[in-house]
Chain A
Amino acid sequence: MTTTPPCFDEMLISQDQVRDPYSDYYDWFSKEDLKRLRLKSAEAEAFFRKIGITFNVYGQDEADERLIPFDIVPRIISSREWARLERGIDQRVRAINAFLHDIYHRQEILRAGRIPAELIARNAAFLPEMMGVNPPGGVYSHIAGIDLVRTGEDDFFVLEDNVRTPSGVSYMLENRETMLQMFPELFTRMKIRPVSAYPRLLRRSLSNCAPENSPNRKPVVAVLTPGIHNSAYFEHAFLADQMGAELVESTDLSVVDGRIAMRTTQGFQPVDVIYRRVDDAYLDPLNFNPESLLGVPGIMDVYRAGNITLANAPGTGIADDKALYSYMPDIIEFYTGEQAILKNVPTWRCSEADSLAYVLEHLSELVVKEVHGSGGYGMLVGPAANKKELSDFEAKLRAKPANYIAQPTLALSTVPILAKSGLAPRHVDLRPFVLVSPNKIDITPGGLTRVALKQGSLVVNSSQGGGTKDTWVLGD
């Protein structure tokens, strides 16, 4: 029996024809014993449990600590494919940083009428407090995680530009670590580009953005976490540990001699760079939400005086806002003079009457997203929704059309997972991680592949039952 997959499969062209990047792996897999692989799979899970990678699922009554399922079949990308992605990501991240500088200075792009001012003016992610501020090194989004999906041999689309505080990099690193332990033979057999330099590059990249007037001989870097109740706390602790930085909470920091200093056993130590995993609104109760207990009062004052680097810079969220997403090709062209290398998913802005009418008419075919939402919450996947869900959503959409954008349901590519019966295709996306320092952009080869473990499902979010895989970029 031969069935052609309904969408682009990254391993199989047909039942007996394997795509190039997978040929070595496929050969190896064919000779493997399924039982042994299942044992390996269980071993991998035990490994994750031991190191304690868990996450909290939002929107559930109990703060449920769960393990993100890991699939032992790697997702494999050829060096040629990667080179193109890399160029596209590099271009996009350069444009985003230029856009952020512009939007917080002269706003040429608004004066030129390329994007409507209302999109910025009515946007909670726009921080007037950043107007005229020059971040040390000129970098706004030090760390970015660009979400990509694929629909064909050469068809990659950017789904989202995560330039506030993209999470998931710890999974990228741990997934690789696990694969190296489970299948060392594959890493000698195939040329797989390493990802292990990420923590070192992160540290270097952040250090290169340290304030020039620092009193420290070597830049002091700290990771600011909201604390153990945050769903990504594991990652905060992991990254601090991996890059040799301090892990701090707001109560560890205070303003001392015009700088942000952390309490240590030897007294107060001035900090140069804070990789903060606290959202803008909670970052500084003196300048933003006064109720925040997660922030550091006065940190914005010290930042504006140029005495600390915050990564990412406050206010970067304006660049990954879903309402602005559809303008990204214009933004790229405006700042780089080039056409976007990576395509955007066609997007209907429900704020526009014609688009809204179209979206309402085709609701059952579309994916509708909240403009300011994230993590797959508040989203409608038309083809998967029942009648009641559709009509409930229609009411929400009619009430506040400007809150939503809609996109076609993309036929996301599939990659095999190890299912009961052997390999089975599942839909995936990809989040490569990008580091930006004053003169350099580092893109770690690969990134985090998220996989919808349920057959046919298109929702890859870990909060909604998605899993992860190791992502291999092949060397030349």
Chain B
Amino acid sequence: MGDTLSFAITHTTTYSFDQPVKYALQQLRMFPRNGHGQRVVDWKTTVTGGQKQVAFDDQFMNRTELVRLDPGAIRVEIVSEGVVEVEDRNGVIGKHSGYTPLWLYAEPTPMTAAGNTVRKMAGQIRADCAEMDDIARMHELATRVSEAVKYQTGHTDAETTAEMALTAGHGVCQDQAHVMIAVARQLGYPARYVSGYLFMDGQVNQDASHAWCEVWTESLGWIGFDVANQICPDARYVRVAAGRDYGDAAPIQGVRHGAGDEQLQVSLQVQQ
């Protein structure tokens, strides 16, 4: 067993509306779960300016909460905080569990559908890595994706597909994860998207929530790959939600009726 780290995490998301809210709902997937080397010592989500309506575990076993924003609200704050212990397992999550069949993760989604560039990369991996075992092949894929999609903020958004990001050649962790998922699926591997937190050494204020991917192999089951940082998730990674792509595992998704703009602010503190 590897090292275990313990973190105190405070993830604060603030929405400011320039017109009072009429009717709006937000779906939260911000609740880390126990298992695969992760232990949630204590966790809670608190909403100011909205009321929790229902909570359930979705098909990917993500704890999901539906929040209705208070009518008239102009500012809503969601604080997701707690203490999590993580053991370093070299990214190995292991056996598949839950009702969703493995084949579901091998099917493309609109965000991860293969176009010519994704297919081309899959073809190259197939040709170049024929002799490798699954794990080595996926490591090679992660390396190639990190080279092909340079980490660069400001060019992509939540709607950017894997094909778009790979064609453009740059993106953020979300895009890199989508590209790796898209190519892995093209090669026949079940793959999924994970959203969570990464503790960056020597910093209290962290950039934003992080995203990486997991690929399923015959020998080890699910294994995590963080393309952005070129490693398999270790004890510094807190897994929060998973799904076929960003849409399934996004921390917050919402609908809002009525006019007006909104500003979003996210702050993340992770302390060891």
- Name A128's contact: one of B57, B68, B100, B254 (CB within 8 Å): B100
State how many angstroms separate the Cβ of A297 from the closest Cβ of chain B: 4
- Contact flags B37-69 to A (C-beta < 8 A → 1, else 0): 000000000000000011111110000101010
- Name B255's contact: one of A106, A130, A285, A302 (CB within 8 Å): A285
Judged by a CB distance under 8 angstroms, whether B27 is at the interface is yes
Q: How far is the CA of A110 from the CA of B57 in the complex (A)?
A: 24
- Interface pair A132/B99, CB less than 8 Å apart: yes
Chain B residues with CB under 8 A of A298: 25, 27, 53, 66, 68, 255
Which residues, 201 to 239 on B, are CB-close (under 8 Å) to A? none
Given contacts A121-B107, A286-B255, contact A304 B101 (CB under 8 A): no
- Interface pair B54/A305, CB less than 8 Å apart: yes
Judged by a CB distance under 8 angstroms, whether A122 is at the interface is yes
Given contacts A131-B59, A257-B53, A286-B25, contact A104 B107 (CB under 8 A): no
- Interface pair B103/A301, CB less than 8 Å apart: no
Q: How far is the CA of A27 from the CA of B5 in the complex (A)?
A: 90
Judged by a CB distance under 8 angstroms, whether A254 is at the interface is yes
- Interface pair B99/A106, CB less than 8 Å apart: yes
Judged by a CB distance under 8 angstroms, whether B98 is at the interface is yes
Judged by a CB distance under 8 angstroms, whether B104 is at the interface is yes
State how many angstroms separate the Cβ of B257 from the closest Cβ of chain A: 9
Given contacts A254-B23, A255-B68, contact A128 B53 (CB under 8 A): no
Query: Which chain B residue shows the least CB distance to A257?
Result: B53
Q: Which of A107, A302, A305, A306 is the most central at the interface, judged by chain B CB atoms within 10 Å of its CB?
A: A305
Interface SS of chain B: strand
- Name A132's contact: one of B66, B98, B254 (CB within 8 Å): B98
Judged by a CB distance under 8 angstroms, whether A117 is at the interface is yes
Judged by a CB distance under 8 angstroms, whether B19 is at the interface is no
Judged by a CB distance under 8 angstroms, whether B253 is at the interface is yes
Which residues, 62 to 115 on A, are CB-close (under 8 Å) to B? 104-107, 110
Query: Which chain A residue shows the least CB distance to B256?
Result: A297
Q: How far is the CA of A245 from the CA of B113 in the complex (A)?
A: 43
Judged by a CB distance under 8 angstroms, whether A307 is at the interface is yes
Chain A residues with CB under 8 A of B244: 128
Chain A residues with CB under 8 A of B100: 128, 131
Chain B residues with CB under 8 A of A129: 58-59
Chain A residues with CB under 8 A of B107: 121-122
- Interface pair A304/B103, CB less than 8 Å apart: no
Given contacts A121-B107, A286-B255, contact A301 B53 (CB under 8 A): yes
- Name A286's contact: one of B27, B55, B103 (CB within 8 Å): B27
Given contacts A107-B101, A122-B107, A131-B59, contact A302 B253 (CB under 8 A): no
- Interface pair A301/B66, CB less than 8 Å apart: yes
- Interface pair B59/A255, CB less than 8 Å apart: no
- Interface pair B66/A110, CB less than 8 Å apart: no
- Interface pair A297/B103, CB less than 8 Å apart: no
Which residues, 233 to 272 on A, are CB-close (under 8 Å) to B? 254-258
- Interface pair A304/B58, CB less than 8 Å apart: yes
Chain B residues with CB under 8 A of A128: 59, 100, 104, 244
Chain A residues with CB under 8 A of B254: 286
Chain A residues with CB under 8 A of B99: 104-106, 131-132
- Interface pair B255/A117, CB less than 8 Å apart: no
Which residues, 59 to 90 on B, are CB-close (under 8 Å) to A? 59, 64, 66, 68
Q: How far is the CA of A131 from the CA of B56 in the complex (A)?
A: 13
- Name B53's contact: one of A117, A122, A255, A287 (CB within 8 Å): A255
Query: Which chain B residue shows the least CB distance to A106?
Result: B99
- Contact flags A292-315 to B (C-beta < 8 A → 1, else 0): 000001100110111100000000
Q: How far is the CA of A285 from the CA of B23 in the complex (A)?
A: 14
Chain B residues with CB under 8 A of A258: 53-54
Q: How far is the CA of A129 from the CA of B55 in the complex (A)?
A: 15
- Interface pair A121/B25, CB less than 8 Å apart: no
Chain A residues with CB under 8 A of B27: 286-287, 298, 301
- Interface pair A110/B101, CB less than 8 Å apart: yes
Which residues, 1 to 54 on B, are CB-close (under 8 Å) to A? 23, 25, 27, 53-54
Given contacts A122-B107, A128-B59, A305-B55, contact A297 B98 (CB under 8 A): no
- Contact flags A126-150 to B (C-beta < 8 A → 1, else 0): 0011111000000000000000000
- Interface pair B104/A302, CB less than 8 Å apart: no
Q: How far is the CA of A113 from the CA of B241 in the complex (A)?
A: 31
Q: How far is the CA of A110 from the CA of B101 in the complex (A)?
A: 10
- Name A301's contact: one of B23, B56, B104, B106 (CB within 8 Å): B56
Query: Which chain B residue shows the least CB distance to A107?
Result: B101
- The 8 A-B pairs with the shortest beta carbon distances in the complex, nearest first, are A305-B54, A131-B59, A301-B66, A132-B99, A131-B99, A304-B56, A297-B255, A258-B53
A-B contact pairs, 8 of them (CB 8 A): A131-B59, A132-B59, A255-B25, A286-B27, A286-B254, A297-B25, A301-B64, A307-B54
Additional A-B contact list (16), CB under 8 Å, known A256-B68, A298-B66: A104-B99, A117-B103, A128-B244, A129-B58, A132-B99, A254-B23, A257-B53, A287-B27, A297-B255, A298-B25, A298-B27, A298-B53, A301-B53, A302-B54, A304-B64, A307-B54
Residues of A whose CB lies within 8 Å of any CB of B are 104-107, 110, 117, 121-122, 128-132, 254-258, 285-287, 290, 297-298, 301-302, 304-307
